[in-house]
Every structure is written in structure tokens, then in C-alpha cells.
Amino acid sequence: GSRQIDELLAALPVPEGAQVAMETLSNVASDPRDREVILRRLDWSNLFEYAESTQSPIRAAAMRFLAALADSHDGAKRIITERDGIYLMLTACQPTWKVAIEEAIARKQASYDEAVKYRDEVQVALDGVPISDLNGAFKLRTELAQANLKVNQCATELEGVERRLKSGIEEKNSWDLQKEALRALAAMTEGSEAATSVFVEYGGVSMLHQ
């Protein structure tokens, strides 16, 4: 009822609870009366922020919620079209997860290579310190320990990102997001000439056949 909807909408601005709130609201919106209550009280800018989230599961939940609101509802379709929702749905169908992870791996690899290079330079400097120079040896030996810690930290970070690529979780999340975005586009374009013409204008037809 109305109170449950208010509680769910109140949870929306809090990122930790947003995904569950949007998924529950999507189910609640299947009742036409409840959907009217949601549409009257919803903060659209909040929802659209999640529709652009860099986290695929949150973005997928937002797409699902948009689809539930747009389903056979001209008013909701108009608001979503005016706020460029169709463009967001189309971009959600383009899988960028692999590019993003590969860029992250390249960054972490560069940091690791740099740390190793510096560590080797410190080692060379330490090897060249005369036995009589205790002060210099202590200083460089401490610096070497610090440099090795940095190498270790960079290696751990690199392994973490590589593991994300191997685990396939990002790919699964990406397919899930595409599925929800396609459903949202189908709900938007069904019976709406305005939404359909925007979809076509943005190259939606060629996206479907990619």
C-alpha cells in the first residue's frame, strides 16, 4: 500500500538500499493504482542517476524499474523520453565492461612496473654504498623495504583486477544489464510513436541487429 511505497521511495536516495528498493518497486508498480502513487511521489532525478551508475547491478535495477513504470503508461513514457531515458537504455545495451577492466589492468600493470623499476634502482644504490657508510646503508636499506612493500601492494592490486576478468562476474552482470535495458526499450516503444521515433533516431534499430 501507500505506506510501503513511501518507505521504499525513502530508501531510494541511499545507495546501499537503492537496488533492493528499485527491484521491490518494480514489482509493486505492476498494480496500476500503486503505480500512480509511485509516479506522483517519485524523485525522477534520483532514478536517472542510478540509470547511469557505473555499477551494472544498480543500473540493471534502475532499467527494470523504468520498464515497470513505462509499461502501457503514456505519462511515464513521456517523462522518460523527455529526460533522455531512451539514450540511457541504448547505452546500457553496449557492453563496455571488458574495455573498462582491460584499462584498469593496464593502469595497475604500469604502476607495478614502475614500483619494480624503483625497487631495482634502490637495490643498485645500496649495493654501491661503501661498507664504512653505515648511515647511508641504513637509509637505503629502509628505502628498499619500503619499495618492496610498494611492489607487493601493486602486485596484489593487479591480481585483484585480473581475477575480476577471469571470474566472469562482470560479464554476467553486463548481460543482465542488457536484458533489463532491452525490456525497458521494448516497454517504451510499444504503442508510443514519440518514443519509437527517438529510438530510431538514436540508431536503435542497428543496435538490435548487432
| Tens-level pLDDT at each residue, the chain (210 residues) | 688 899 999 999 888 899 999 999 999 999 999 999 999 999 999 999 999 998 899 999 999 999 999 999 999 999 999 999 999 999 998 877 778 888 999 999 999 999 999 999 999 999 999 989 999 999 999 999 999 999 999 999 999 999 988 888 888 999 999 999 999 999 999 999 999 999 999 889 888 887
Chain center to CA of 75: 28
CB 67 within 8 A of CB 27: no
Residues 106, 121: Cα–Cα separation, whole Å: 23
Q: 191: closest CA among 24, 94, 78?
A: 78
CA angle 29, 32, 35 (to 5 degrees): 40
Q: What is the DSSP letter of 130?
A: -
Residues 6+ apart with CB under 8 A from 59: 50, 51, 52, 53, 92, 177
As a whole number of angstroms, the longest Cα–Cα distance in the chain is 87
Residue 66 confidence (pLDDT)? 97
Q: 47: closest CA among 32, 28, 72, 68?
A: 68
Alpha-carbon Rg of the chain, whole angstroms? 26
pTM: 0.73
CB 45 within 8 A of CB 62: no
